[in-house]
């Protein structure tokens, strides 16, 4: 702070000198100095109204403004100097022309004190602002952040009167996560039992998982089950342009939580401020994110375990968090929140349809089977879309058809009113029939649920295939089947029309990703071997994660796998050309084929298994 005061003093002196110069200029700008000859001429012409003399210095004022012969424009008031050798009878001349000789100066100059006060005014304003900023800093608002205004202290999330608190009854599909968090709830309810045993609860719980899996809902449920105050904040709220504000807000948040302990602090998207440090983006360790992260680490280290404050954080990118944040003693319990399985999806759908009137034909178990990979947020959106469709159709209840149409809209996109030429429509029918037929013929492939040539989203047609049960590991045979199915559209166009169109763009992207994973990450190539040559998401930096020779081998193997699958796709479609034509003709006639109709027209028996879990 000492250096800051020196800068303030130097700034004030500079401002004072500049103000004095400006004031002096304006004080004398309208008082030109004229020659004594000019003065005598004006007296003789009777144009001088009054003068004031002090020694040989004379000030005066004209009756009518005159042009200064020495330059400088017109003047009315003036200064002049009477030469010491002049022996003219000045008094007599002045009396003759009725010139008043005053006892006070004609031109009133500001006093030294007035000039001093005016000069000091800007400096006093600067000092006042500096003191205000210093007081805000001492008040803990962090650096110059006080200029942004003091924010109200954080408060627990309050319920709307009459609203029920979120509990584990409102959370479904993630039972294993509930088990992890039940320990936290029990500790908040019965802290004395843990203290007697000498046990300490985790100071922080990190919920990691894809977006929409219910991390925020879980944190609210923990607070609701334990019946304790719940402080919620997004990590981005701590970040400000002015360095230090985030750290001060973290201090205030933890201080308020301690006052009402036991309590829960929930920080959403903590990867915003919790990224690994030392990446070169910060300037000398004073980056705002680093200061905020350091403050969180300090506050969590300060927990004694008896305070009853537990920090729950959520992130989609646990892999980029700073190691100091996830070490034992801070976020020492990391809970993976994954998308729900089939039973979990059914339970989630039941929760989100509590207030939606369902028709008797709605089978939530069937909907759950056809929605693998969907998160809780996706299923909530699906239920809402079905309700919106029922309203548009002026129905009293949501039917199974509404659920199916809503699922198509969510998964495939909204229908487009696009009128295609008949030839292009026929080619699209063969394209989709190729996808569907290969999906039916390939052993272990996902069953075909629907085929349509109605344009949806960016696609001119869609073939929807989903597994009967959730898959967590994939065999090489299954992945090759996925590639063959994805190439089915291009292969059908090749077999029937001997052309290749741009309609296979998204198919080729899917094929490329699967083939790259097989060769470079999952050890399914003898040439590359059992290596993870492009680990994680290295395809984003393709060419930087492996040696050039390895990349050449990966490229060769990818091409080999895709070429083999494409040849097999073409061969199967030629061998089953009659079934391909039948599917295409049915699509041209009906535009959309459901699962049962598609298998019946293709003449293929759909093998079903007991899929109850």
Q: What angle do CA 365, 371, 377 make, to 5 degrees?
A: 105
Count of positions (residues) in the chain = 613
Alpha carbons 233 and 268: distance in angstroms, whole number:
6
Prior bond of 262 cis (ω within 30°): yes
Point out the residues of the chain with pLDDT beneath 70: 1-9, 12-13, 15-17, 19-31, 71-72, 103, 106-120, 123, 134-164, 239-245, 277-288, 302-307, 535-545, 607-613
Alpha carbons 552 and 374: distance in angstroms, whole number:
37
Domain ranges of the chain: 2-112, 168-278+286-336, 342-412, 422-602
pLDDT tens-digit series, residues 202-244: 778 888 888 888 888 888 888 888 788 888 877 777 765 555 5
| Residue 12: per-residue pLDDT | 65
Cβ-based neighbours of 119, under 8 Å, separated by 6 or more: 16, 19, 20, 23
CATH number of 2-112: 3.30.720.210
The string over 483-494, giving b where at least 16 C-beta atoms fall within 10 Å of a residue's C-beta and e elsewhere, is: bbbbbbbbbbbb
| Residue 284: per-residue pLDDT | 42
Which of 457, 450, 453 is CA-nearest to residue 430?
453
State the fold for domain 168-278+286-336: Rossmann fold (3.40.50)
Alpha carbons 554 and 534: distance in angstroms, whole number:
10
Cα 363 from chain centroid?
A: 38
| Residue 296: per-residue pLDDT | 80
| Residue 106: per-residue pLDDT | 64
Token pair, residue 472, equals: 């967590």
| Residue 136: per-residue pLDDT | 63
Could you list the active site residues? 432
Tell me the CATH number of domain 342-412, given options 3.30.428.10, 3.40.50.300, 1.10.600.10, 1.10.8.60. Answer: 1.10.8.60
Where are the strands (E) in 147-229, listed by range? 204-208
pLDDT tens-digit series, residues 94-103: 887 778 888 6
Q: What angle do CA 254, 260, 261 make, to 5 degrees?
A: 80
The CA distances from residue 267 to 206, 224, 227, 272, in Å, are 10, 17, 19, 10
Helix (H) or strand (E) holding 409: helix 400-412
| Residue 146: per-residue pLDDT | 41
Is the whole-model pTM more than 0.75?
A: no
Phi-psi region of 173 (alpha: psi -120 to 50; beta: other; left: phi over 0): left
Q: DSSP labels for 246-262?
A: HHHHHHHHHHHHHHT-S
Cβ-based neighbours of 18, under 8 Å, separated by 6 or more: none
Q: How would you list the strands of the sheet with 230-234, edge to edge?
A: 230-234, 263-268, 309-315, 204-208, 333-336
Helix (H) or strand (E) holding 312: strand 309-315
| Residue 609: per-residue pLDDT | 47
CB-facing half-sphere around the CA of 379: CA atoms within 13 A: 32
Give bridge partners of residue 592 from the DSSP assignment.
452
State the fold for domain 422-602: Methane Monooxygenase Hydroxylase; Chain G, domain 1 (1.20.58)
């Amino acid at each position: 702070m000492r250096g800051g005061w020196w800068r303030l003093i130097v700034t004030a002196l500079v401002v004072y000198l500049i103000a004095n110069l400006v004031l002096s200029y304006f004080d004398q700008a309208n008082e030109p100095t004229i020659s004594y000859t000019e003065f005598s001429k004006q007296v003789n012409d009777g144009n001088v109204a009054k003068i004031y003399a002090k020694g040989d210095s004379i000030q005066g004022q004209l009756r009518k403004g005159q042009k200064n012969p020495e330059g400088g424009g017109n003047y009315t008031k003036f200064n002049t100097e009477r030469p010491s050798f002049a022996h003219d009878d000045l008094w007599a001349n002045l009396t003759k022309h009725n010139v008043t000789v005053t006892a006070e100066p004609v031109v009133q100059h500001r006093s030294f004190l007035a000039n001093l006060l005016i000069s000091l005014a800007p400096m006093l304003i600067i000092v006042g602002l500096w003191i205000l900023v210093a007081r805000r800093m001492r008040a803990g608002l962090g650096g110059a952040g006080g200029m942004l205004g003091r924010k109200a202290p954080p408060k627990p999330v309050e319920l709307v009167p009459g609203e029920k608190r979120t509990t584990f009854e409102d959370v479904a599909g993630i039972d294993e996560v509930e088990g992890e968090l039940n320990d936290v709830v029990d500790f908040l309810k019965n802290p004395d039992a843990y203290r007697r045993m000498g046990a300490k609860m985790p100071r922080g719980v990190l919920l990691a998982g894809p977006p929409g899996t219910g991390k925020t809902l879980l944190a609210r449920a923990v607070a609701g089950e334990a019946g304790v105050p719940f402080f919620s904040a997004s990590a981005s709220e701590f970040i400000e342009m002015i360095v230090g504000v985030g750290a001060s807000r973290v201090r205030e948040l933890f201080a308020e939580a301690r006052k009402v302990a036991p309590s829960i602090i929930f920080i959403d998207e903590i990867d915003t401020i919790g990224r690994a440090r030392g990446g070169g983006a910060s300037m000398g360790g004073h980056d705002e994110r680093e200061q905020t992260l350091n403050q969180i680490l300090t506050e969590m280290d300060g927990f004694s375990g008896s305070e009853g404050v537990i920090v729950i954080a959520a992130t989609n990118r646990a892999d980029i968090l700073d190691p100091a944040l996830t070490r034992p003693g801070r976020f020492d319990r990391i809970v993976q929140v994954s998308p729900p399985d089939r039973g979990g999806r059914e339970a989630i759908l039941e929760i989100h349809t509590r207030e939606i009137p369902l028709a008797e034909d709605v089978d939530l178990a069937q909907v759950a089977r056809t929605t693998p990979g969907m998160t809780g947020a996706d299923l909530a959106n699906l239920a809402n879309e079905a309700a919106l469709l029922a309203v548009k159709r002026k129905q009293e209840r949501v039917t199974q058809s509404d659920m199916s149409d809503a699922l198509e809209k969510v998964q495939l996109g909204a229908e487009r009113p696009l009128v295609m030429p008949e030839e292009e429509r026929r080619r699209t029918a063969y394209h989709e029939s190729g996808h569907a037929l290969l999906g039916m013929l390939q052993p272990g492939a996902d069953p075909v649920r629907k085929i349509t040539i109605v344009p949806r989203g960016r696609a001119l047609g869609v073939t929807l295939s989903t597994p009967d049960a959730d898959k967590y590991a994939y065999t090489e045979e299954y992945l090759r089947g996925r590639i063959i199915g994805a190439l089915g559209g291009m292969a059908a166009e090749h077999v029937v029309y001997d052309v290749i169109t741009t309609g296979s763009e998204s198919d080729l992207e899917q094929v490329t990703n699967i083939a790259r994973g097989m060769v470079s990450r999952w050890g399914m190539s003898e040439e590359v071997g059992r290596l993870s040559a492009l680990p994680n998401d290295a395809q984003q930096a393709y060419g930087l994660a492996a040696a050039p020779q390895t990349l050449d081998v990966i490229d060769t193997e990818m091409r080999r796998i895709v070429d083999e699958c494409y040849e097999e796709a073409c061969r199967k479609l030629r061998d089953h050309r009659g079934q391909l034509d039948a599917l295409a003709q049915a699509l041209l006639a009906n535009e959309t084929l459901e699962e049962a109709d598609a298998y019946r027209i293709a003449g293929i028996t759909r093998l079903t298994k007991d899929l109850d879990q």
